[in-house]
Amino acid sequence: IESSYHNFSVGTVNIGNNTSSFTKLSLTATSGLTNDGTINLTSNYSSSNGLAELEMTSGTLENNGTIQITQGTGGTNATHIIDGEIDNTSDGTIDIDHDLKVTLASGETFTQHGVVDLATSTTLTIEGGTTIIGTGTTFSGTGDVNFTGTAALNLDSNFTLSTAIPVTATGSLTIGSTDATVHTLSNSGTLTLTNDIISSTVSLSNSGTLNIDDNYTRIQGTFHNATLGTTNIGNSTAYL
């Protein structure tokens, strides 16, 4: 799509793969995309090659509706991909019933003010770029979130990590704030850090399980291990 595209509230866009295809099926938008309706990413092919991808080469995917990630009939192995900048607004929902990878280049953002719902045994992988957690953000369900590559997670308000959704940083993640204001990141679930930094603009409160594994992790702001909180420092050097 070589111009801006608007999917209205009653509209549905299906991006999917049939059972005979060995390759991914992609929709590429070069000037941004606004979704007020439904976008489905799905696959019916039982191979890692049979994935669906939505790629933004320029502009932003603004989601005011629903983005559904499903495996389809017979689809089992493919991790679907959204490549490019995303703004999931306060009216938006990303419904993840199958694994999803969000790929961000340096300077690109995944801005979150809406709902991300993760079904059991699903993974949302966020690779690179900057993820912004804003007011109204809700992570629901029982899947997990994994940050990979060189990435940033910035808060523009206080935020609590869900008890049911483990969050892991397997790349190099810097957790900070969108400005100089100190915001509190409360962990009531499981947070696993490897070679990561929690900056001085974030106050970390742990009432769940904090795992610090491998390499160097630095907590530069205040850290409160609350009642019933567990902090595990494994084969690593941690600066608290």
Residue 177 banded pLDDT, cuts 50, 70, 90:
very high
Q: Is the pLDDT of residue 19 over 60?
A: no
Mean pLDDT, residues 219-227: 93
Q: What's the whole-number mean pLDDT along residues 157-182?
A: 95
Residue bearing the bigger pLDDT, 127 or 28 = 127
- DSSP letter string, 91-105: T-EEEESS-EEEE--
Output the average pLDDT for the chain.
88
- List, for residues 121-163, the tens digit of each pLDDT value: 999 999 999 999 999 999 999 999 999 999 999 999 999 999 9
Residue in this structure with the two tokens 């199958």, named with its chain if needed: 98
pLDDT, one tens digit per residue, over 188-217 is 999 999 889 999 999 999 999 999 986 689
Name the pTM for this structure: 0.91
- Res 8: pLDDT: 87
For residue 86, give the DSSP letter: E
Instruction: Pick 4 or 173 by higher pLDDT.
Output: 173
pLDDT at 42: 86
Residue 234 CB neighbour total at 10 angstroms: 11
Mean per-residue pLDDT for 169-174? Answer: 94
Instruction: Tell me what pLDDT residue 5 has.
Output: 78
* pLDDT greater than 90 at residue 60: yes
Name the burial class of residue 75, with classes exposed (0-12), middle (13-18) and buried (19+) by CB atoms within 10 angstroms of its CB: buried
Rg value, the chain, Cα: 18
